Structure formats: structure tokens, C-alpha cells
Chains A and B, each alone.
Chain A
Amino acid sequence: MTIEGLYIIIAAMLIAASSALVGSFLILRKMSMMGDAISHAVLPGIVFAFLLSGSRAGLPMLLGAAATGVLASLLIELLYRKAQLPQDASIGITFTWLFALGVIFISSYTGQVDLDQECVLYGEIALVPLDWLYTGAGSAIAPRAIVYGVVLLLVVGVYLLLGYRGLLITSFQNDFAAALGISTAFWHFSFMSLVSVTTVLSFETVGAILILAFLVVPPATAYLMTQRLRVMLVWAVFWGLLAAVEGYFLARWIDGSIAGAMASVAGLNFMGVALVKQVLKRKKRATAFHTAAVK
């Protein structure tokens, strides 16, 4: 394997690990589609910040995107609570609208600069080794995607370490948390911000669409395997990392899209685990039936 390949895998693994941790709580909060909504809704924010700052790097882009992500979750809450629309309809309206705005921005304003729809939608992980971050003095640090990935993992790790109990109780029973005097709005919106940040820092690598595969599929696989939250988090990270590695080699083999291969493999892993679980369950039931019959 080349050093370039290694960079790509490391970048993907960093994103996969962070997404698996964030995604586990998305699933438990029954908000997987909220992840989908946010990952699409950050598009206008990204484009807008890009147009303002003229650069694809750095803080403006991150802030712009995180802001639209939170805006999307606010709009969804507003439609759900004030207009009393069902939550799935609120999500559907909000994210398609924001995403469409982003598409218009890209197609009409950014033709002259380096931000194209394909890159935003599908990401371009193959370019990871080509895009380096330099110090002020001009010496190379590391590929930008890897630096972003490390930062993201740190942010997610610190948030979950500090917020584990708050997220746990508000995910399990929001009303009870509110009755204890815990600010459920704080936990909702801080978590939505975390989802936005995760999406933004990953979108260049895996794209706005496939990021959902990293957010939802590995945690869903882990959810099938265990009834302990901490164990679920560990397994989710494991499945995310595995999909990143497997996907890379699959893509090399078939000479296709790397991000696409990673997402597909994640889906296959999920189906494998679901299948094994079904078989085990049936076996268990058969044994139980057998022992009952013998008695």
C-alpha cells in the first residue's frame, strides 16, 4: 500500500469513528433523519461562507455550516411545535428547501471558483493526500483532511465525555429530564450543533450524502448487537473503522468511488450482522422448543 493510500484510510477512519459516536446518540434519540436533514441543510451555509471568505479552508466555512445546521434544527422544531406538522414532514420540508438554496448558490455563483456540486455531494476522498496544511513558515504539517479529522474526533470525544449523562437522560426520557430541571433545549441544540460540525468537517471527504451512511449504519449495526450503551459505542466505532478499511480496498479493486465503496460495505456489514442475529434467534427458539417438547 502506498503512503497516499494510508492517508486516505486514516482520514476515513477518523471521520468514521467520530460519526459512529455521534450517530449512536442520533439513533437513540430517534433522530437519524435529523442527521440526514442537517447534512443536507449545511450546504447553503458552506457555499455562503465560501462566497464570503473566498476560501474552502478554515473557520468561516465551519461556522457558516454549523450555523445553518442549527438553523435547520430550529426550523424543524418550529414547524413541528408551532405549525403542528408531523416531525417527518417538518424535516422533509426544511432540508430540501435549504439544500435547494445551496444548489442554486453553487450553480449560479461559484462557477468561476473551485467548489463544485460533485465534490460537495459525493466528496473527494481520493484527493486527501494532495491537499496539505502548512505552517506559517511554509513547512508541511499533514494532509488537511487528517488534521480536520483529528480535531473533529477531539471535539466529539470531549463533548461526549462531559455530556454523557446529559445526553443519556434526555435521550431516554426527555420529560423526566425536564422535571429534574435539566435544560432539554440545551442538550438538543448542543447535540444538533455537534452533528452539524461533524457533517461539515467530513463533507469534503465523504460528501454531504454519504456522511449519513457513516452516521447511521455503523451505530445501527452495533445497536443490533448489544443492550449496553457503552458497549454499543465501542462496536459502532469498530464497524465504522472496518467499513473505512474494507471500503478503501474494495474501491481499489473495482477502481470505483472510495466513499461509495465505504458506504456500501457498511451496509453489507449491517446486513451480515442482522442475518447472524436472526439465525441465532431462530436457533435459540428451536432449542427452547426442543427442550420443551422433550419435557
Chain B
Amino acid sequence: MSANKEAAPALEVHNLTATYDRQPVLWDIDFSLPEGSLAGILGPNGSGKTTLLRNIMGLMQPDSGYVRLLGQDLAKVRAQVSYVPQRESVDWNFPVSVSEVVAMGRYGPGKLLRRLRRQDRDIIEEAMERTGILPLAHRHISQLSGGQQQRVFIARALAQQAQIYLMDEPFVGVDAATEEAILNLLGEMKNRGHTVIMVHHDLQTAQDFFDQAVLLQTRLVAAGPVETVLNKENLQQAYGGRLNVLSKVGQLAAEKQFPLREKAFRERKKPAHGESD
């Protein structure tokens, strides 16, 4: 890895403003995330979380501002950036099998015309192995549970072998086994120095999942280490009046009086921290 890459943050968003129908959805967003972070994009419904992700991925043009990934334009580092869209964004009756969807992670401009190589197939198989869907490789995608569908998308992202992973709500509607599998993977990716940035709507788990957080409410409320972002004032500002219950939860979580996740996860996470320190 070049020195240049290590110096630049994984993601920089500069004065980004985006609108739908002249209604601002994101207003003057400005933050950066260091490489190797596990970051959550948080905020209430309609606060622009998914829009932010779409702007980062170049799927939507911002009205002003710009985004840098690994210090570069997206066009230059596209191969280093992998995108996991929301599960509802596809027709699960589409006639393809699990392995065919995962194989799409190996597609790309200039790679569409040639057959997949032996090496590509190995990568695809490894990605399915790591997400625990190898036994389902030949199944049609309509025969999967919600959690399995999510794992197919994550396997496809892994098959891209990128540095940065952008995920849109990967925990929505998944079963406990999948949640566990995803959390394991996140830890693994972090240990390899990869950056994971995900849209997440569940404040209760945010504290446990992430080390960095970006709190949105059309404007940027706060960004930085998760424990400094998720304090009472910020949450109040983001969630406003809806907040009585949520702010209490946030506060309680901050004070760690409340075992939000099962113990096993905390125990698993701690040694990982120890290693990276």
C-alpha cells in the first residue's frame, strides 16, 4: 500500500448539498472518516442517509460539493470501492442463482466480454464461504430468506476485493444468525484494514457496532468517534421531539448501564480492539 493512501482519509465529503425536486435532502455536509474505520451513518427516517450513500457512490449528482475516496475521485478508485445496496432494490424472482449474483462482483467495465477466469471463480467461492452461503450456491435467489439474501449481496461485495465497503442498511430484516455472520465479517474486514461505512437506523446497536459515527438530519449534526457523537444533545438535535424514549436510550447506552447486545458479542469485540491497539 502506498504512503499516499495511508495519509489520505478513506472518505472525505466536502460541503455536499443534494436535492430532490429542489427540496434539499442533504445540506452542506462536511466530514471525513479515517481508513480502517467501521462507521455508521445514522439519523431519523428521511434524514438523507441513503441519499448520502448514493452521492458517495456517484449514483446521484450533488448540487454542490464533492466527495473523495482514498484521497481521489471515485472514477480513479472505483475498483477499491464496493457497494451493498438495500435488499429491496432488486426483484428476487429474477432468474439467476446465488453464485451468478455473487459472480457479478467480478464484473466491471472492460471485463464484461470475457469469461470468468479460474482465479475469479476462486474469489467468488471464497466470498460465499466467508458469508456462509456456499451450500446455497446453486439455489435460485427466490428460495432465500431475507438474511440469506443480504449475505448474497455482501458476498458479492467481498468478491470485488475492495478497500472500502459502503452498505445500505444490511441489518434490516435479517435473522440472528445473519446478524452474527455480518458482525463477524465486519470485525474481520476491520482487522484487514478495510473501511466499512454503513447506513444504519438502529441507535440502540450503533454504539456497539461502530467506532465512528455520522449523525444526519438533512444537515450534519455530528461526525467523529461514536462515543462523542452519540450524546444526548446531538441525539436531541437529530431526532427532535420524537426523542424522549430514544434520547434516554442513547444516554443509557452512553453510560453503559444497559446491556444492549448479548454478552458474547462484547467479548468477541474486545480482543479485536486489543489487537489493533
Contacts and interface: CB of A to CB of B under 8 A. Distances in A.
Contacts of A163: 112
Contacts of A30: 91
Contacts of A223: 95
A227 interface: yes
Contacts of B96: 168, 172, 228-229
Given A172-B101, A175-B59, A180 B107 contact: yes
Interface in B28-49: none
Interface in B87-121: 89-91, 93-97, 100-101, 104, 107-109, 112-113
B85 A176 contact: yes
Contact of A166 (B21, B78, B85, B112): B112
A175 B78 contact: no
B108 A173 contact: no
Interface of A is mostly: helix
B168 to A, nearest CB: 10
B27 interface: no
Interface centre among B96, B100, B112 (most CB of A within 10 A): B112
A178 B59 contact: yes
24 contacts: A28-B95, A30-B91, A168-B100, A169-B104, A169-B107, A171-B94, A172-B90, A172-B91, A172-B94, A172-B104, A175-B83, A176-B104, A176-B156, A178-B57, A179-B57, A179-B58, A179-B85, A180-B108, A180-B109, A180-B160, A181-B75, A181-B78, A227-B142, A228-B95
Interface of A: 28, 30, 84, 162-163, 165-166, 168-169, 171-173, 175-183, 223, 226-229, 231-232
Given A168-B100, A227-B142, 8 more contacts: A168-B104, A173-B104, A178-B57, A179-B81, A180-B107, A182-B109, A228-B97, A228-B140
Interface of B: 21, 57-59, 75, 78, 81, 83, 85, 89-91, 93-97, 100-101, 104, 107-109, 112-113, 140, 142, 156, 160
